[in-house]
């Protein structure tokens, strides 16, 4: 092929590539900027270091929240508290990070509540399917009396629970088939969090669930150990599951919160002024993280579609089929979780 056509072809390819990247770039999610720090500098004795480690990746909404937390604490302590952030389970997955807090080798983490149900059975209420009809109802419950009591009750076993943030509504993905009804799940190997209610949910729907740490999930999907998994769109995108999952169904089947935990050993060393500062910063982090999570949720779903993931948006009738099939899960767990708590949360949804 002689040169002129060569250059024309290459410039053509160049142009298309440029077009694509700008499309991708133009589709880049608009993340709410990290807010300015509110509040005065807190005067207190001593210098401290906080290592704050999470299991989700650096490009997720949760890590943005941590960056805001770091900014608040360092500015309002006038540098006397230094914060170092870790992501992608660099300092251990949810359960390892929690035990590092108990032993005092790590100062803070913010896991999902689901893997902690073994330690805090009351958290199981959050794993009940279709419990929170909207994120706002979740906020009402978590920021209200119920949420505060749960934080107080979870401040034991060497931990201090100081706030909530949002992992979000979970969506099913898999590498085998589009899923529009429970019948399509027959025999599908689905990874769940290490949580008996989630195992019950996917067994009840007819799938073949396997509990597994989040840190092992991508490799298990890549190697076909499991066919599918379920997480919020932001986590699906940030964890690059599109590389190993072709299909997704917008099930919104469970709303998972993150809980902000501090090592009690570290907490007891902090002067009261700095304890209040860390508590305030955790609240502001949670509110900002929720804003990022909700702003990104639909944008990320569109971006996954643009990038080739086949997403099924279930009709209300199709969602109802899942809800009816999962109704027995409430009977299975009512006594263990406590009917009073379930009814109180359901009341908050009315
Ligand atoms: O640290 C990340 C975890 O909290 C993890 O639980 C995320 O939702 C998650 C999952 O599927 O494990």
Q: What separation in Å is there between the alpha carbon of 235 and the centre of ligand 1?
A: 8
Q: What separation in Å is there between the alpha carbon of 52 and the centre of ligand 1?
A: 16
Q: What separation in Å is there between the alpha carbon of 170 and the centre of ligand 1?
A: 11
Decide whether any atom of ligand 1 lies within 6 Å of the 167 Cβ: yes
- What is the per-residue pLDDT across 226-253, written as a single tens digit (0 to 9) for each? 999 999 999 999 999 999 999 999 999 9
Q: Are 217 and 229 in contact (CB under 8 A)?
A: yes
Q: Quick one: pLDDT at residue 13?
A: 52
319 contact partners, CB below 8 Å, separation of at least 6? 251, 252
Decide whether any atom of ligand 1 lies within 6 Å of the 231 Cβ: yes
Dihedral angle over CA of 115, 112, 251, 326, nearest 10: 40
**Which pLDDT band, with edges at 50, 70 and 90, does 313 fall under?**
very high
Give the chain's mean pLDDT: 93
Strands (E), the chain: 48-53, 81-86, 108-109, 159-169, 171-174, 189-192, 208-211, 228-231, 247-249, 255-263, 310-312
Decide whether any atom of ligand 1 lies within 6 Å of the 112 Cβ: yes
Decide whether any atom of ligand 1 lies within 6 Å of the 61 Cβ: no
Q: Are 312 and 247 in contact (CB under 8 A)?
A: yes
Q: Quick one: pLDDT at residue 350?
A: 74
**Which pLDDT band, with edges at 50, 70 and 90, does 344 fall under?**
very high
Decide whether any atom of ligand 1 lies within 6 Å of the 204 Cβ: no
In this prediction, what percent of the chain has a pLDDT beyond 70? 92
Decide whether any atom of ligand 1 lies within 6 Å of the 284 Cβ: no
- Phi, psi (deg, nearest 5) at residue 32: -55, 130
**Which pLDDT band, with edges at 50, 70 and 90, does 348 fall under?**
confident
Q: Which atom of ligand 1 is nearest the CA belonging to 232?
A: 8
Burial class (CB in 10 A: 0-12, 13-18, 19+), 190: buried
- What is the per-residue pLDDT across 128-144, written as a single tens digit (0 to 9) for each? 999 999 999 999 999 99
**Averaged pLDDT for residues 39-57:** 97
- Phi, psi (deg, nearest 5) at residue 311: -100, 125
Decide whether any atom of ligand 1 lies within 6 Å of the 232 Cβ: no
**Which is more confident, 347 or 52?**
52
Could you tell which of 53, 54, 56 is best to mutate to test the pocket of ligand 1, judged by most ligand atoms within 8 Å of the CB?
A: 56
Q: Are 114 and 235 in contact (CB under 8 A)?
A: no
Q: Are 254 and 198 in contact (CB under 8 A)?
A: yes
Could you tell which of 92, 112, 170, 173 is best to mutate to test the pocket of ligand 1, judged by most ligand atoms within 8 Å of the CB?
A: 112
Please name the residue that has the structure tokens 């908050």: 348
Nearest-angstrom CA–CA distance, 137 and 23: 35
Q: Quick one: pLDDT at residue 2?
A: 45
Q: Quick one: pLDDT at residue 4?
A: 56
Q: What separation in Å is there between the alpha carbon of 171 and the centre of ligand 1?
A: 13
Decide whether any atom of ligand 1 lies within 6 Å of the 54 Cβ: yes
Nearest protein CA to atom 12 of ligand 1, as residue: 214
Q: Is the pLDDT of residue 27 over 70?
A: no
Q: What separation in Å is there between the alpha carbon of 280 and the centre of ligand 1?
A: 24
């Amino acid at each position: 092929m002689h040169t002129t056509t060569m250059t024309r072809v290459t410039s053509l390819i160049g142009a298309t590539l440029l077009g694509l990247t700008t499309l991708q770039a133009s589709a880049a999610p608009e993340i709410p900027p990290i807010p300015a720090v509110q509040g005065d500098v807190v005067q207190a004795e001593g210098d401290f270091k906080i290592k704050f480690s999470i299991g989700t990746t650096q490009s997720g909404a949760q890590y943005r929240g941590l960056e805001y937390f770091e900014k608040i604490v360092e500015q309002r302590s006038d540098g006397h508290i230094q914060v170092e952030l870790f992501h992608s389970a660099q300092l251990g997955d949810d359960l390892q990070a929690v035990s590092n807090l108990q032993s005092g080798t790590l100062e803070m983490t913010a896991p999902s509540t689901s893997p902690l149900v073994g330690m805090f059975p009351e958290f199981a209420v959050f794993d009940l399917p279709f419990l929170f009809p909207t994120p706002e109802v979740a906020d009402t419950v978590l920021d209200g009396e119920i949420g505060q009591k749960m934080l107080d009750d979870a401040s034991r076993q060497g931990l201090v629970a100081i706030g909530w943030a949002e992992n979000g509504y979970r969506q099913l993905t898999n590498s085998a088939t589009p899923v529009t009804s429970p019948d399509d799940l027959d025999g599908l190997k689905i990874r769940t969090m290490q949580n008996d209610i989630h195992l019950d949910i996917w067994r009840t729907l007819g799938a073949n669930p396997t509990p597994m740490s989040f840190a092992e999930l991508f490799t298990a999907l890549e190697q076909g150990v499991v066919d599918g998994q379920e997480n919020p769109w932001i986590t699906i995108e940030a964890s690059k599951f599109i590389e190993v999952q072709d299909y997704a169904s917008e099930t919104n089947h469970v709303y998972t919160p993150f809980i902000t935990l501090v090592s009690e050993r570290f907490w007891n060393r902090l002067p009261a002024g700095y304890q209040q500062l860390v508590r305030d910063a955790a609240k502001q982090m949670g509110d900002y993280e929720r804003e990022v999570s909700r702003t990104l949720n639909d944008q990320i779903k569109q971006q996954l579609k643009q990038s080739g993931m086949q997403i099924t948006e279930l009709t209300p009738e199709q969602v109802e089929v899942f809800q009816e099939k999962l109704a027995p899960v409430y009977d299975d767990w009512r006594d263990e979780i406590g009917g009073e708590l379930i009814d109180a949360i359901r009341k908050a949804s009315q």
